[in-house]
């Protein structure tokens, strides 16, 4: 019998919001590097093209240099945008542990504007427990910041 503490499970973070903007306006904020830098982090080398690789830089920890390596996986204009989100190091425990996840944004027109659904999937628990907890809290701050940025940039 396997010890329950050693069993790995995959988890995802989901944030679902309705913004009073068209999908086109939201799409621009999700796929324009200069605007992304205002509500998330500055992407280096970003282009919304499948296969494009880009990075974000965050706080380093242990053997991890803080680089988040991303690759655009799917681009369906005004509807769906997905990219790999990888970072960390095998040698790290807790913050900075090896992470191989996917961020997917889905936009759906609704009467009030657009429903935005963010799914950040692939967290391997218990190994990614700290990232799952921190990013779960973080996305709940970042998504409203996206809405504020859209209001400011029109």
Q: Which residue has the higher pLDDT, 15 or 1?
A: 15
Residue 28 DSSP SS3:
helix
pLDDT band (50, 70, 90) for residue 153: confident
Claim: this prediction has a pTM higher than 0.85 = yes
Residue in 141, 154, 149 with CA at minimum distance from that of residue 15: 141
CA separation for the pair 67, 54 (Å, rounded): 10
CA separation for the pair 27, 23 (Å, rounded): 6
The DSSP call for residue 78 is T
Q: Is the pLDDT of residue 141 over 90?
A: yes
DSSP 40-53: S-PPBS--SSTT-E
> What tens digit of pLDDT does each residue of 72-105 get?
999 999 999 999 999 999 999 988 999 999 999 9
The pLDDT assigned to 129 comes to: 94
pLDDT band (50, 70, 90) for residue 4: very low
Q: Is the pLDDT of residue 21 over 70?
A: yes
């Amino acid at each position: 019998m396997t010890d329950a503490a050693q069993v790995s499970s995959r988890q995802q973070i989901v944030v679902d919001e309705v913004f009073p903007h068209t999908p086109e306006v939201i799409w621009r904020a999700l796929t324009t590097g200069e605007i992304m830098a205002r509500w998330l982090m500055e992407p280096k080398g970003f282009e919304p093209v499948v296969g494009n690789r880009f990075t974000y830089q965050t706080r380093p920890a242990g053997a991890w240099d803080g680089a988040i390596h991303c690759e655009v996986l799917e681009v369906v204009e005004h509807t769906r945008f997905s990219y790999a989100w990888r970072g960390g190091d095998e040698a790290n425990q807790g913050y900075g542990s090896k992470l191989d996840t996917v961020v997917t944004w889905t936009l759906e027109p609704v009467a009030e504007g657009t429903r935005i659904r963010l799914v950040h999937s692939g967290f391997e628990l218990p190994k990614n427990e700290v990232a799952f907890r921190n990013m779960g809290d973080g996305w709940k701050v970042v998504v409203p910041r996206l809405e504020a940025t859209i209001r400011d940039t029109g």
